[in-house]
Structure 1
Amino acid sequence: MKRLLAALCLCSIAAVSHAEISQKLGSLEVHYNALTTDELLPDVARTYKIERSKTRGLVTISVLQRNKVGVAVPVPAKLTLYATNLSQQLANIEMRAIKEGTAIYYLGDFRVVAPDTLKFTATIEVEGEPRHEMAFTQKFYK
């Protein structure tokens, strides 16, 4: 996770419009990011079997929950994610779980033709929690 997050953070610094963002949903904290895959370092793309392209996007999501001592820890979640473009075309984004040590995060790739703005809508289910929904928008410029 550290390698991917470090790479994504570096990409985010290079392109401020792709900054990682988070939302608080009840007892959950959800971190997410979306970018075109050509921004990934080649080694990172190869490790996670992601095609690097200006027409492919990558969304990353991690779900955290505070433990008894107040530390946010990753928790497994069932994610359903859709993206809608400016033409109102809807695409289902299949998310796959990546587990590295105690880290858990989810990756999904999708087609994007810039310039475009995508609205992502996610349903997040964590055991013992009510189902949560969230949305975020990302502009793609390349």
Structure 2
Amino acid sequence: MRHLKRTLGHLLALAALTASPLAAAEQSIADGQYEIHYNAFNSSFITPEVARQNDLVRSKYRALINVSVLKIQDDGSKQPTTAIVSGQAANLLNQAQQLEFKKIDEGDALYYIGSFRFTEDEQLKITLSVQPDPNQPAYDIEFDQRFYVD
């Protein structure tokens, strides 16, 4: 079971690095206190076994968004940290799907995975709100990405 969760992390990293129109390279923001990494990719990039293990839906018409938050320590090291993550995916007509994120905790790695539907050759605006500290304002992240049926 632990191996399957680690496999999810490796697959998410692989999806982020895949040089394909189906996936965007990993993106991140940092402010000296936190580093927030995020990417979106077709759900078919993960194996059926990993999808079952983590209760994720695979489909050629469904994408996943992966968000991870690292707290930058005084010594410069980075520690995975929890956050409140929400967002939406909107098409060019501003029809939006609210994203619900599932927390996947591997101990030494922490991911928030959300999913949404898309149609062939669809441009979507992804809007994320990531709040590592509930006493501080959230980080607002926006990016556009085109999705293709796999």
TM-score of the aligned structures, taking structure 1 as reference length: 0.88
Distance in 2 (CA, whole Å) between partners of 1:49 and 1:79 is 18
- Deviations 1:80-112 (CA, angstroms, capped at 9, x unpaired): 111111221111100111111132110111111
Taking the aligned partners of 2:119 and 2:35, their CA distance within structure 1 comes to: 30
Percent identity, aligned pairs only? 35
Q: Is the 8 A contact 2:32 2:72 kept in 1?
A: no
Counterpart selection for 1:84 from 90, 93, 97: 90
Amino acid at match of 2:72: R
Please, which runs of 5 or more residues in structure 2 have no aligned partner?
Answer: none
Instruction: Specify the SS of the correspondent of 1:44.
Output: helix
- Separation (CA, whole Å) in 2 of partners of 1:22 and 1:114: 26
- Identify the match of residue 121 of structure 1 among 120, 127, 143: 127
Go from structure 1 to structure 2 and tell me whether the alpha carbon gap of 1:129 and 1:65 turns closer, same or farther (over 3 Å shift): farther
> Counterpart of 2:9?
5
Partner of 1:135: 142
**Gaps in structure 1 of 5+ consecutive residues:** none
* Structure number with higher strand proportion: 1
CA RMSD across the alignment:
1.8
Q: How many residues align?
A: 142
Query: Which position in structure 1 is the counterpart of 2:57?
Result: 51
What letter matches 1:87 in structure 2?
A: L
CA separation in 1, counterparts of 2:16 and 2:35? 20
Identify the residue that residue 36 of structure 1 maps to in structure 2: 42
Instruction: Find the residue that maps to 2:8 and give its secondary structure.
Output: helix
CA distance in 2, matches of 1:70, 1:58: 30
